[in-house]
Every structure is written in C-alpha cells, then in structure tokens.
Amino acid sequence: MLESSEEEFTARFRAFAADGELYPQPEGSPLLEFAAGGRVLYLFDRSGPYAAVPGPARVLVHGILGPGQIAPLPAEAAGERREALTVVGVSAVEGRGEVLASSAQICVVRARLPLVLASFSPLPPLQVGGWVTFQTLPPLHGFVL
C-alpha cells in the first residue's frame, strides 16, 4: 500500500511540494495543468473537483514506477549528475535527479522539481544524496496544498 489516505500522504510529503503555477482547469477534466521547474505537467487531480484555484500553487507531484523504472546512477557517470526532466506522453515523465528521501517503496527525487516516486514492489537500494534515473507510468498525480 502506497498511501492510506490523501490526507496522510500529503501530510507525510508536504515538505516536498513543488512551487509553480496552476492554470484554469477545463470543465469536467480530471487533469490539472501545472507549470513548475520549466515544465508543464498534466496531473490527475487528487484534491477533489474544483479545489484547485488557478494561480500560484504548491503541489505535491506523485508518480508511480513500474518494475525496473528507477536505477541508481553509477559512480562512473558522475559527469551526468545534472537534473533532467522530460514529459512523456500526456502525463508521465522520465529524468535524472538527486534522491532527497528514500524508503522501501517510496523515494523523493529532485529533478527540476521535487517528485514523490513510488513502486508497488521494493525499490533498489537508494542513498539520500545519490543520483537516479527514472521513468513514471501515466498518470502523474497532483495533490494541491
């Protein structure tokens, strides 16, 4: 289980919310349009309908990893230690970043913006301060704080 409730999840990871800009949500759309870290992300709205107000916002961005979709950056790749984030499809990302927090199934990575990445299976051993490459499954989830 990755989260017991939206409230517990946001309280647990609140410190890792990204600062950015929310754009008006089209009527009936479950996706939030959120600009942060020089990227525009489409996030499945986990805050409830009509809770997100356009303008400056703090949003917890949460992505799900499939098996093998996160890996430590090898020590010999030290020259590649620069944050990268690329939008894939409508609501997924791939990138490279520094591990800010890690547990058995969840890690927080800073890759242009903080991302809470989780897997239904155990993650490989990750060190805080280490670097990883990753790719999420769609959709990304967004919790507006």
Counted domains in the chain: 1
* Rounded CA separation 141/139 (Å): 6
Give the Cα separation of 73 and 54 in Å (integer). 37
Residue 21 vs residue 75, higher pLDDT: 21
Residue 53 is part of which domain span?
A: 1-144
pLDDT at 1 over 70: no
Highest mean pLDDT among 1-5, 62-66, 76-80: 62-66
Query: What are the Cα distances from residue 17, in Å, to 29, 121, 145?
Result: 22, 24, 8
- Helices then strands, each counted (H, E), the chain: 1, 9
Is residue 122 classed as helix, strand or coil in its secondary structure? Answer: coil
Would you say the C-alpha torsion 81, 98, 84, 124 has a positive or negative sign?
Answer: positive
Q: Grade residue 74 by pLDDT with cuts at 50, 70 and 90.
A: confident
Residues counted in the chain? 145
pLDDT of residue 14: 97
pLDDT digits (tens, 9 = 90+) for 26-65: 877 889 999 999 999 999 999 877 778 899 999 999 999 9
